[in-house]
A and B are shown apart, each in its own frame.
Chain A
Amino acid sequence: MTDTSTQRTGDFKNALLRAGLYAMLILFALYYLMPLFVMLVTSLKSLDEIRTGSLLGLPRDVDFSAWGKAWSGACTGVQCEGLRPYFWNSVLIAVPAVLISTFLGAMNGYVISQWHFKGSNMIFALLLFGCFIPFQVILLPMAIMLGKMKIAGTISGLIFVHVIYGLGFTTLFFRNYYITIPVELVKAAKVDGAGFFRIFWSIFVPLSAPIVVVTVIWQFTQIWNDFLFGVSFSQAGTQPITVALNNIVNSTTGVKEYNVDMAAAIIAALPTLLVYVVAGKYFIRGLTAGSVKG
């Protein structure tokens, strides 16, 4: 009798503990979701409703006009074209920069992991340290250099900057992945007469799908979300979306349109959020690979 009753109180205590655990987890989930929820409902309200209603309240009448304005009418200073041109600027910057830095990272990683030569590890260490520098330390000379190269304030200039300062991470990703491929494989291929590029294309490239996905996602997220390079090295027509968003939110002309600000913020976040939702597993792998080196 006593046995079952203590067991029953034990079960009860356990159930209570589990309930408390789930309650806490859900509470935390609400905390992380709250800003997204607030952004979404605010973007769907009219300005009147924003002033009279509650931050957390659902919109009484769903109003999409803020989205239209954020996309093609909001002012980023003197120009009032919305986010659309800047969205395309970001695409034009991110796509080539991601492809080039990923390709170079793959080649570098291939050399460093499989074709040791005197000093190759030193070069890797130099590249790696470049991931950690605060970019403030290169802003001034880079601004001068871009001017000398006649690409200051252009999309090409921003692509160039993102490629250079992305190399450390892309090389790290590929090096850590390729190092797990046995050296014997390369040796055997060499005996069979295959050369440097032949081995890369027919052995390494076909094995690279997972690390390419990790690298592309990492680079895309970094470049799309970049603000420092965007604000330092762009001019009126070439600004990326993060800079335009900040300008819309902080433009002082006219009434403060919170609904437009929130719609613009969601538009700017959408591409990386989409990548995260579709390929979260690879996103997390990139994050942890970037911080815990193999």
Chain B
Amino acid sequence: MEWLQRHMPKMVLAPSFFAVLLFVYGFIAWTAYVSFTRSRLLPKYEIEGVIQYERLFESPRWEVAITNLAIFGILFIGIAMILGLLLAILLDQKIRTEGALRTIYLYPMALSFIVTGTAWKWILNPGLGIEAVVKDMGWESFEFDWLTDPDMAIYTVVIAGVWQSSGFVMALFLAGLRSVDEEIIRAAMVDGVSTARIYRSIIIPSMAPIFMSALIVLSHLAIKSFDLVIALTGGGPGYATDLPATYMYAMAFSRGDLGQAASSATVMMMVVVAIIVPYLYSELRTRRD
């Protein structure tokens, strides 16, 4: 009984510990291992070296996926950050209807990316969507066919992604703005410093950790992006809007090429580790100081 009491905390934590050990770390190891084999339809377990990675980086489809991730990642993160910061600063001006506006700006975050993709697919429909609206207003030659244009389709993913996630950045920044020391701001105002200057030199610099958090969350969202592309473009036209996540899925479940699926997933994992680990490390270190 005594023994049971003493070891109860460990016993309670044990199932989760072993589950995570197997289903997270064991599975990551399995995928990494299989990425060094010649697995096709079924997993094989003889190590064959880096052949899958050679195939991966020679594949034009993977190149498209990586290029798209760069375009999408930079634009999605950049625009969502700027828009989120702008909205937060605008809302911070003692707005009477702040609560209602905040609710409106943030509701897309409660939606599934599949719903968002479905809605924007309809709005951006070349025949009946925005294009028709602008034509009806008198601009007869207006064309907006990004959704079906292989060179432009990836930008429609940016449009829908920013719409969905910018409100979340706003919420983060707004919380950050509210946590800046009121005294310093009041002192600066008494000294006649302009509002723009106060934001530029006092408030925004003090929010560096929040910028960092927003950056991490958004880049994480960008790397994992899958549902939005599937619902909006299905990866097409052709594979013009493929991202690493859709490439991996196609290899795993429709092409029957487990080796490629495993190697692309491993590359994704490495990218996430490269972003998250320094962040977690610095977070833990600053807390200890």
Contacts and interface: CB of A to CB of B under 8 A. Distances in A.
Given A136-B248, A242-B114, A56 B133 contact: yes
Interface string A7-45: 000000000000001101100110111111011001000
Contact of B265 (A137, A242, A264): A137
A291 B132 CA distance: 40
Contacts of A39: 119, 122
Interface stretch (A119-127, A177-185, A205-213): A119-127
A38 B115 contact: no
B265 A261 contact: no
Contacts of A64: none
B223 interface: yes
Interface string B260-272: 0110111011001
Contacts, number: 255
B41 to A, nearest CB: 12
Contact of A273 (B10, B107, B128, B172): B107
Contacts of A51: 128
Contacts of A195: 5, 8
Contacts of B28: 133, 137-138
B111 A272 contact: yes
B119 A262 contact: yes
Contact of A283 (B5, B110, B163): B110
Given A25-B95, A104-B16, A196-B5, A144 B43 contact: yes
A284 B106 contact: yes
Contact of B175 (A42, A54, A129, A288): A288
Contacts of A254: none
B128 A258 contact: yes
Contacts of A104: 15-16
B112 A111 contact: no
A242 B262 CA distance: 25
B280 interface: yes
Contact of A133 (B112, B234, B262, B269): B269
A55 B26 CA distance: 50
B120 A287 contact: no
Nearest to B114: A242
B220 interface: yes
Interface in A222-255: 224-228, 231-232, 242, 245-246, 249-250
Contact of B114 (A22, A28, A246): A246
Contacts of B220: 132
A196 to B, nearest CB: 4
A273 B106 CA distance: 11
Interface in B152-178: 163, 167-168, 171-172, 175
B147 interface: no
A293 to B, nearest CB: 7
A143 B34 CA distance: 14
Nearest to A134: B268
B181 interface: no
A76 interface: no
A136 B90 contact: no
B12 to A, nearest CB: 5
Nearest to A38: B123
B114 A134 contact: no
Given A29-B105, A275-B110, A288-B171, A127 B213 contact: no
B279 to A, nearest CB: 9
Given A132-B272, A140-B252, A55 B128 contact: yes
A245 B118 contact: yes
A234 to B, nearest CB: 12
B180 interface: no
Nearest to B116: A35
B172 A292 contact: yes
A140 B252 CA distance: 7
A125 B22 CA distance: 15
Contacts of A262: 118-119, 122
B136 interface: yes
A258 B121 CA distance: 10
A204 interface: no
Given A135-B224, A246-B114, A32 B163 contact: yes
B29 to A, nearest CB: 9
B249 A28 contact: no
Contacts of A21: 90, 93, 95
25 contacts: A21-B95, A31-B163, A32-B108, A32-B167, A33-B104, A35-B119, A107-B12, A129-B280, A130-B24, A132-B220, A135-B224, A139-B248, A140-B30, A140-B252, A140-B265, A164-B20, A167-B19, A195-B8, A246-B118, A258-B125, A262-B119, A262-B122, A276-B109, A288-B171, A288-B175
* Minimum-distance CB pairs A-B, first 9: A225-B112, A115-B9, A276-B110, A227-B227, A136-B265, A196-B8, A138-B27, A141-B27, A130-B24
Given A242-B115, A265-B114, 15 more contacts: A54-B133, A126-B21, A134-B223, A136-B265, A137-B266, A137-B268, A139-B265, A141-B31, A232-B253, A258-B128, A262-B119, A268-B112, A272-B111, A275-B110, A283-B109
